[in-house]
Amino acid sequence: FGVNAGYVEKVYHDFMAAPSSVGAEWRRFFEEHGLQAPPEPEPRAAAQAAAALATEHGDELLRGVAARIVTNMEESLSIPTATSTRVVPVKVLEENRRIINQHLALEYRGKASFTHLIAFAMVRALAEMPALTVSFRRVDGAPHRHTPDTINLGVAVDATNRDGSRGLVVPNIRNAGALDFGGFLAAYNELIAKARSGGLTPDDFKETTCTLTNPGMIGTVSSLPRLMSGQSFILATGAITVPAEFLGAAETTLSELGISKVMTLTSTYDHRVIQGAVSGEFLQRMHEMLAGQDEFYAQIFRDLAIPHRPLFFVRDRRAAMGTPMRENEQMERAARVMQYIRAYRVRGYLLADLDPLEYEPKSFPELELSTYGLSIWDLDREFFTSGVTGKPMATLRDIREVLRTTYCAKVGAEFMHIADPQQKDWLRERMESTRNRAELSNETQLRVLDRLIEAEAFERFLHTKFVGHKRFSLEGAETLIPTLDALLAKCAADGVDKVVLGMAHRGRLNVLA
């Protein structure tokens, strides 16, 4: 079990103390290996035995997981390792993750972390470089190089034990190379949930190819973790932050200079079977993928059906500060942003998700930043908003997010053809100020649900009562009923005396009912 031996030993001690306290998989595992739990001791006797292990003068005997960690660390000293390091800009990673999470939020599918994307890039890079997946082992005393058939990616998880202490476990995602990003995201989250709930089984630890650990979560910039026996290498990610020499710079200064946040990647590998050039090329490949090369993000966007193009790394080419060319350039970019805003107001509805049965994302170049000569570096710079955000000036990122949320989410609005400018402004102000998303109270949501249930129940009644009759079913347009209900309730509140409905055949019986 390698680094997980401490976790397994703890489960074993729990099994020996109280077999019912561990899962059925673990009980079966121990029993298959001929281990039988003794009768459970009296609680008082167990407490006295535990107290006897504490020695005088503040010393404490390391046992269980802590003792196994000592053994693992001492065994790791016998592995001749070497380490490669690379500092990677994360601007593209950061911006594309934001787009991914906005889409996942609309679909109520959780979030993707930086680690999810880094781990997926790691798997993609390993699929191209199998030389980094080999491990060292001895067979009958002779040294051998072992090449695995699949990539079982180990993920270091900081889990809390029952006694409140914290410990590290490294379960693995089996055959990670066969998963698209949607499947990888689900498998990763399921593994983390099992680790934190104590639901890991022996199969979750078998045949780990390599490990990803993230000490950057606690602010560590660079780390050299120990490589456990049986694995090819371990990749550590550092904190995502601006370079140290720019920590005191203002956000506006960083955006003007085109300074990206960075992350340090360290690859510690078994030098007996892996050479330094292979590790260095692997980190270079990671760098290229996280920068958007070879359609890394484009494939993720396709897997998740995101209707936008991903951003990619380009150099920030601008005229020197303080020169007339720089001023002209800023005016030109401001004009391009206005064109970009108008494009969403005119064509944004083309990307809206309106089909409840199937969603086929499409991409329109006129709704992309690159069409207007704008790049990833312009996202942090402020431009005139034309009323989009409710403020005179805002960053291009904020402008883009409001436009996409308003016109490309669950409501498609085609209104710019209206000749009356006052009507257009009225619609635009109300849509962009609310992002076309109404905040419904619990009472309103329950009323909508009641109307939908009533409409569906009535359709089922007609279907079973009048089999074979032409009845112009409401199927596929059920939202018509709560919509009319809300409209008529609003009319009543405003003192309307009479409402005349003109409608097609579809759903008319349900409306009359």
Active site residues per annotation: 271
Tally the residues of the chain: 513
**CB 7 within 8 Å of CB 169:** yes
**CB 429 within 8 Å of CB 387:** yes
Residue 422, classed as helix, strand or coil, is: helix
Handedness of CA 395, 398, 401, 406 (dihedral sign): negative
Bridge partners (DSSP) listed for residue 382 = 395
Burial of 466 per CB tally in 10 Å (0-12, 13-18, 19+): exposed
Tokens of 281: 């090329």
Bridge partners (DSSP) listed for residue 89 = 262
Close Cβ partners of 356 (under 8 Å, ≥ 6 residues apart):
476
| φ, ψ of residue 350 in degrees (nearest 5) | -65, -20
**CB 344 within 8 Å of CB 352:** no
Task: Compute how many other C-beta atoms are within 10 angstroms of the C-beta atom of residue 369.
Answer: 18
Tokens 């005393």 map to which residue?
141
Name the pairing type of β-strands 153-155 and 172-173: antiparallel
CA distance 483 to 500: 15
Close Cβ partners of 432 (under 8 Å, ≥ 6 residues apart):
387, 388, 389, 390, 402, 406
**CB 263 within 8 Å of CB 88:** yes
Helices and strands, number each (H, E), in the chain: 16, 12
At CA 313, angle to CA 311 and CA 319, rounded to 5?
A: 110
In angstroms, the Cα distances linking 129 to 125, 228, 276, 283 are 6, 21, 13, 11
Residue 105, classed as helix, strand or coil, is: helix
